[in-house]
Every structure is written in C-alpha cells, then in structure tokens.
Amino acid sequence: MLKNWPAVLLNWYHRERREMPWREDPSPYRVWISEIMLQQTQVATVIPYFERFVKRFPDVGSLAAADQQDVLKLWEGLGYYSRARNLHKGAKAVVAGRDGELPRSYHELLTIPGIGPYTAAAVASIAFGEPEAVVDGNVLRVTSRLWMLPGDPTETAFKKTVRDRLNSFIPSETPGDFNQAMMELGALVCVPREPTCPACPLNTVCQAWKKGVVDQFPRKRNRGKPPRYDVAVALIINAKGDLLVAQRRDDQMLGGMWELPGGKIDTGETPVEAVIRECLEELGVTVKPCQSLPHVRHAYSHFSVTLHPFVCELDPVDQRPAAVVAARLRWLRPDNIDELPFPKATLRVFDEWRGVVSRTV
C-alpha cells in the first residue's frame, strides 16, 4: 500500500470538505459540543442544534451554571439524551476541577464525565493538535474496506485494531485535518450503501475496491430484527383542564425528560386495560379513558415503540396522583407544554391531541 495515502486524502479533504460552524472556529469548547452532538446524528441535523446551543451557552462556565432542564430542552428532538446529561456533568467537572479549561491531552480528556475515546481523540487532535486517531462509524467503514479487515466493527477489539493502525499513519503536523478527512470520506463517498468508489481519492489503495468486494465490508453479525413494543399512555386531564406529566429518573433511559404516564401493554391485555393498570401502578390512581388518539410509532437505536394514547379523567376526580415510579409529577397547562423537555414520540402525541381538539372546537 502506498505510504503517502494520508497526503492524498488530505488534498481531497481540503478541496471537498463541507462548511460547518465548528470548523470555522475550532475552539476546544465548540469542538467538544459538536463532537458530542455528532455521535450517531447527521451533520445536517446537528448544525441548527449546535448554533442554538452555543448561542445560549457560549462557554463551559455558562453550560456548567445552567439548569439541567434548560440543557435538555435545547437538546429536545436530537435524541440520545444521556449525551446532554453527561455533557452538563462534564462542564461542571471542568469548571470545578480545572478552572473552566478543557484538558489538552487525549488521556486527560478521558477523565471528564461523558468524554469517551472517540470524543477525546477528536478534541485532542482538532483543538490541540495531538496525533490521536478518531474512530467512529464512518472511520470504521472506511478502514474495513481500505484494508479488508475481518471482524465485527461494533466490537471493542476491532476498534482498538483500527485505532492502533491509524495512529501509525496519522500526520503529526495536521492530525485534526486527517481525522476530519477520514470521517468526511465516510460521510460523503465511502457510504454504507452504494459508495461512489470511482470518485474516491483512495481507490487506488483500497483493497476491497481492487477485489470487487466493497459491499462485503464491514462485516457485522446478524443481530436480528430489533424488538417492537406496544405502550399505552394517558393524557390525564383534571377539572381545570391541566395535563399530568411525569419526569423520568436520571438512571432511566431518557432520564430527566418529561413524558406521559403509561407503560408496556402485557400479552393478552388491551390498550385500554393497560393504560388503567399502568396509571394505578405508576400513580396510585384510577383513570377513566374517554377518548383514544391515533397511534404514534417511533424507532430508537435498538427497538421501536407504538404508543397508544388515551385522553383520560381521574375517577373519582378528587384523587391525588403520586410519583410512585417517576422522579416527580407536574400538572401543566396545555399552552405551557413547550416549557419542558419531552421526547420526540411524546411531542408527536401532543400534535395528535391538538389536532383532535382543533377539529372538535
């Protein structure tokens, strides 16, 4: 393999790279925020979130001083909300232990909450010029084809092999550009399906392209179809017209976010039976479902859900719901829903509810 392939790649990157707000001003803080947001999220989706986020929290100090709910609200719709919670924790740690200055080295960055090997390498190389290879999904795909690497790229050992090999090629003068070039190549050319190999700057050294087996790499185990769950949720309305919402505990998936009470529908159980049972278990109250709303389907990374929403009343009306499962409960005016951070699926339920209300007015 030609030893000068990194230089070829860098020349391509300087010609073809996309404009991104964090690239124009690659301060350590901005690189950190962008790399956390970019995990499992496309650039086009991230850009408006990034711009709103750094406008509201322009530095580590302002982020550390923020309320977690404000951070989650700005993150609303971006998904993978543990990233936002860990980012907030990391900012607090940087302010408390390092006078608001991010560590400059890969290994020191790993000590900050929420910063793993990928983010540490990105910040260290792009912001501080440390030659440490970034390994993300794009890079794993590029390298598995470039070198026809066997093994499952989701496994830690495979990622370490790629990182060690790339570290032997990464140019010490421009490590940040090299890492961004590898990721850019995977995003624009060496894509998962139908890669544009004839336009690839590395096609003369790509082993999979030479042997006509690009579509066979990377090799992943067949993990089967992700599970799907049916979930019944309740829009409980009191006599004042307020809506009951529940906050998830920090140790749960979507921790810190708000949602509607409810839960999985058991085998042999109808959605109506499920919503009544779940409200009794989670809130200690009996509800009367008055109206069903259209189903809402939503896919997460490893499973999908179908929400079955019901507008409900307390029966009897003087019951007081308790936070048996949730971190806390809150009665919310429908006009004030935008005050709190909700998962995307719950926001879609609200849209369905508003649609039904508007049609009946």
How far lies 272's CA from each of 29, 278, 310, 321, in Å? 48, 10, 8, 19
The tokens describing 224, both together, are 């089967």
Closest Cα to residue 201, out of 4, 52, 5, 343? 5
Closest Cα to residue 347, out of 311, 314, 307? 307
Closest Cα to residue 215, out of 246, 190, 188? 190
Q: Are 41 and 52 in contact (CB under 8 A)?
A: no
Catalytic residue IDs: 35
Report the SS3 class of residue 331. Answer: strand
Contacts of 20 (CB under 8 A, 6+ apart): 34, 43, 47
Q: Are 287 and 312 in contact (CB under 8 A)?
A: yes
Using the structure block, give the residue that is written with the tokens 């993300």: 136
Closest Cα to residue 189, out of 102, 351, 304, 181? 181
CA distance 318 to 238: 9
Backbone torsions φ then ψ of 188, nearest 5 degrees: -105, -35
Give the other-Cβ count within 10 Å of 49's Cβ: 18
Q: Are 342 and 296 in contact (CB under 8 A)?
A: no
Closest Cα to residue 263, out of 235, 231, 296? 231
Residue 343 per-residue DSSP state = -
Report the SS3 class of residue 312. Answer: strand
